[in-house]
Structure 1
Amino acid sequence: MNYTLNQLQIYLKVVQTMSITKAAEELNLTQPAVSIQIKNFQAQFEIPLIEIIGKKIYVTDFGAEIAKSAEGIIDQVYAINYKTMAFKDQLLGRLKVSVVSTGKYVLPYFLTDFLNHNQGVEISIDVTNREKVFHSLENNEVDFSLISTDINSPLYDHIDILENELYLVGNPVTASLNPKFAFQEFNKELPLIFRENGSGTRKIMETYLKKQGIHSLKKLELMSNEAVKQAVMAGLGYSIMPMIGIKNELKNGQLAIINRSGLPIVTTWKLIWHKEKNPSPVAKAFMAHIIEKKEEIKKKHFE
């Protein structure tokens, strides 16, 4: 056997994503480079690790066992690296954060300086919806979560980070054809475009419509904010979306804000954690970083 650590990492990522393309994207490699490394890795075993049937990847029982071993080896390498950093008196460890989908536009700005000053820290970010974010907190899978809706539970503590403004938006041409914009017209014309059940943005949108006395509407449901944005830009309908995810499209004239009573809706981005969780040194350091630097970061990147 003459496989490399790089081959183990690539193989494990392919197994985790069940896709050569997704593995290549997450590893910042080309798809051919990943395919070659998988081929070279497979050549060292007489038993198949994965099978490709109809362009879909299936991991064999033997391949699953190898993936478990690969994960253990990689964890041991991380442990060696952490011990090296510890002898240098540097902060080390992993920080795990789950964020709602629009949180991906917020969190990186609060991470950059922290990671630059603590190069022994590794970060794992899971981008999902509100329901799954709370599931990850309840199951102690993450250190923190980033949400923009109310918590409504005594189990969690939080730090307020940033205001989140949501506006009604549409394709500029489509919006110009309906300047009065009566919500009641949606059963006849274009639909309102919603996120899936479990999404915080959907919950905010439904609460707003209920306050306006609007109940029965023609709806289109999509699974991500990016999909909603693309659908609105294409003129398929209207939606209520966070400003932070649509700034460029507004500047470019691909989207238009439609002013209506009760808008914009203003919520707050919150970094939250389970009160019973014992934070690691890395988690404590990141919390201190947020408290110390949040005003500076807001002024620099979000005003």
Structure 2
Amino acid sequence: MQISFLNRLTLRQITVFLAVCQHRSYSRAAEHLALTQPAVSAQIRSLEELVGQALFDYIGRQLFLTSAGELMLRAARELQQRLVHLEIELTDLHGQLQGRLNIAVETSAERLMGQKLQHFCQHHPGVDMAVHVGNHDDLLSRLRDNLDDLAVMTKVPSDQSLQYTPFAEHTLEVVIDRNHPLCTQTGLRLQDLLSYPMLLREPGSGTRQITDEYCRQNSVVIPRYQQLGSNRLICHALPGSENWSILPTDIIRDSGLAQQLSTLNVHGFPIRRSWCSVYPRAKHLNPLSKAFLDTLHTPIRGAPRDTG
């Protein structure tokens, strides 16, 4: 059966549709695209007329995708990604990489990625970089929605849908105030810390997932803890308190509190994991993504050794 309406779809309709999907609002999509709200509504209405089905439902003043809308969203993202690839491949024919590269980075990798991004941009000045920083679960969600060319994270799920390659070590240590009573003790095990409250990241973070995994493997249950939304916030909450935490080594070093904090020599620490480059296994990497992967997996000459 021939589907003739596909020949009448326009890139403008696709762009407006994707903006409405992203913002879940006609007015916010209009603001993002520098259009009027009636113009956005007209584009969606004409697209729905071509498809012959509604793409959005209003339920309780909220916008939701219909089944047809879900199918259109998947196709629109694939089309948008293919056009990006085409632009990059055409510019690559002239010997210089150009285009836009979307990278997602787990929060704890900010320091490591700062060096890599600077190096990449120096060697590819024609590339526009968009870097999203979020926690582990946020990055997995973005990979599922094909919002980024690739991501940098630790603890990659083993569901076979993601292609990943380790490129740098990631270590976590037990950290406390330098005047904490435990600082004078030796031969510590994690169980010895449980009489003091712990500061923990939220469940969606990579640091929290690694911590929970370590506790499960060692049959440790944390009886008292407070949950904070960032590693740096935890660092600033430790000085002058009896709290303790498990944090990435780089965060401890870069917190500006090195003189006020101390890392404990606890059996089984530091925990060692790897930073990995990650992208969907079914995704075809464009030349920009491949060039960035080369940067990730090549040591930067003259830079300090990556340990986080």
TM-score (norm 1): 0.67
Q: Measure the CA separation in 2 of the matches of 1:114 and 1:160.
A: 18
Change (3 A) 1:238 1:92: same
SS of corresponding position for 2:303: helix
Q: Please say if residues 192 and 237 of structure 1, whose CA atoms lie closer than 8 Å, have aligned partners that are also in contact.
A: yes
Q: Measure the CA separation in 2 of the matches of 1:249 and 1:284.
A: 33
Superimposed CA distance per residue, residues 170-195 of structure 1 (whole angstroms, 9 cap, x where no aligned partner):
0101245773666556665x311110
Equivalent residues in 2 for 1:78-157, closer than 5 Å: 86=91, 89-157=95-163
Change (3 A) 1:121 1:249: closer
Change (3 A) 1:174 1:283: same
Alignment-derived partner of residue 300 in structure 1: 303
Superimposed CA distance per residue, residues 21-73 of structure 1 (whole angstroms, 9 cap, x where no aligned partner):
xxxxxxxxxxxxxxxxxxxxxxxxxxxxxxxxxxxxxxx98786344227xxx
Equivalent residues in 2 for 1:1-303, closer than 5 Å: 65-69=30-34, 86=91, 89-176=95-182, 179=185, 183-184=190-191, 188=195, 190-235=196-241, 237-248=243-254, 252-291=258-297, 294-296=298-300, 300-302=303-305
Q: 1:144 is aligned with what amino acid?
A: L
Shift of residue 163, structure 1, vs aligned partner: 0.7
SS of corresponding position for 2:275: strand
Shift of residue 300, structure 1, vs aligned partner: 2.3
Q: Please say if residues 100 and 129 of structure 1, whose CA atoms lie closer than 8 Å, have aligned partners that are also in contact.
A: yes
Q: Measure the CA separation in 2 of the matches of 1:187 and 1:287.
A: 41
Q: Measure the CA separation in 1 of the matches of 2:173 and 2:256.
A: 11
Q: Please say if residues 130 and 200 of structure 1, whose CA atoms lie closer than 8 Å, have aligned partners that are also in contact.
A: yes
Superimposed CA distance per residue, residues 128-149 of structure 1 (whole angstroms, 9 cap, x where no aligned partner):
1111111101110001111122
Q: Please say if residues 184 and 217 of structure 1, whose CA atoms lie closer than 8 Å, have aligned partners that are also in contact.
A: no
Shift of residue 214, structure 1, vs aligned partner: 1.6
Change (3 A) 1:251 1:198: closer
Q: Measure the CA separation in 2 of the matches of 1:66 and 1:165.
A: 43
Q: Measure the CA separation in 2 of the matches of 1:121 and 1:163.
A: 27
Shift of residue 97, structure 1, vs aligned partner: 1.1
Shift of residue 278, structure 1, vs aligned partner: 1.9
Spell out structure 1 runs of 4+ moving beyond 6 A.
60-64
TM-score (norm 2): 0.66
Change (3 A) 1:121 1:113: same
Q: 1:145 is aligned with what amino acid?
A: A
Shift of residue 110, structure 1, vs aligned partner: 1.4
Q: Measure the CA separation in 2 of the matches of 1:176 and 1:108.
A: 34
SS of corresponding position for 2:282: coil
Superimposed CA distance per residue, residues 111-141 of structure 1 (whole angstroms, 9 cap, x where no aligned partner):
2222112111011111111111111011100
Shift of residue 263, structure 1, vs aligned partner: 0.6
Change (3 A) 1:225 1:214: same
Range moving further from structure 2, 242-251 or 273-282: 242-251
Q: 1:65 is aligned with what amino acid?
A: A
Q: 2:30 is aligned with what amino acid?
A: E
Q: 2:109 is aligned with what amino acid?
A: G
SS of corresponding position for 1:106: helix
Q: Please say if residues 249 and 255 of structure 1, whose CA atoms lie closer than 8 Å, have aligned partners that are also in contact.
A: no
Instruction: Give 5+ residue unaligned stretches, structure 2.
Output: 1-24, 36-83
- State, as a whole percentage, how many aligned pairs show the same letter: 22
